[in-house]
């Protein structure tokens, strides 16, 4: 069976061409729809901004991204279908959820996003122990 190669140690902020494309397309879509219905444009921009924050700045682990996504989807569905809790409450609640998931991510020994040297100076040792060649 072939060995998997060890991933490169590359913590910190990252930005790829695909990320830029998502930001540009998402931003243009949000701006275009905001003309028709401001809240739709805002919600799209809110989600795209969180994509950027979670994937490129914080570099959050998938489970926490999914927790955020499920909570947002439930609140947004309630707002669209039943008019409750409403976009203002959804936004406020999701900003609180954002703070919680970021706080949880920053406390992990695997934190490797922006500012990792100050927040998690033990990351190189954690990485080496985790990816040691056997």
Peptide bond into 96 cis (omega under 30): no
pLDDT per position as a tens digit, 12-26: 999 999 999 999 999
> Can you tell me which residue has the tokens 């927790």?
67
Say yes or no: 46 and 67 in one domain. no
Given a contact cutoff of 8 angstroms between Cβ atoms, the answer to whether 9 and 124 are in contact is yes
pTM of the predicted model as reported, rounded to 2 decimal places: 0.90
42, 58, 74 - which closes a domain = 58
Q: Which of 20-24, 41-45, 54-58, 126-130 has the lowest mean pLDDT?
A: 126-130
Say yes or no: 72 and 130 in one domain. yes
The sign one gets for the Cα dihedral 99, 100, 101, 105 is positive
pLDDT per position as a tens digit, 112-132: 999 999 999 999 999 999 887
Is residue 6 domain-resident? no
Domain count, the chain: 2
The sign one gets for the Cα dihedral 114, 92, 65, 38 is negative
Domain with 39 in it? 15-58
């Amino acid at each position: 069976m072939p060995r998997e190669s060890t991933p490169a140690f590359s913590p910190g902020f990252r930005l790829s061409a695909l990320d830029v494309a998502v930001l540009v397309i998402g931003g243009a879509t949000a701006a275009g729809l905001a003309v028709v219905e401001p809240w739709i444009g805002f919600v799209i921009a809110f989600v795209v901004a969180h994509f950027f924050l979670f994937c490129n700045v914080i570099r959050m682990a998938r489970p926490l991204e999914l927790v955020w996504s499920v909570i947002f989807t439930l609140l947004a569905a309630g707002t669209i279908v039943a008019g409750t809790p409403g976009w203002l409450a959804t936004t406020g609640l999701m900003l609180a959820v954002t703070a919680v998931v970021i706080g949880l991510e920053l406390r992990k020994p695997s934190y490797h996003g922006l500012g990792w040297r100050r927040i998690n100076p033990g990351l190189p040792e954690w990485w080496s122990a985790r990816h040691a060649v056997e």
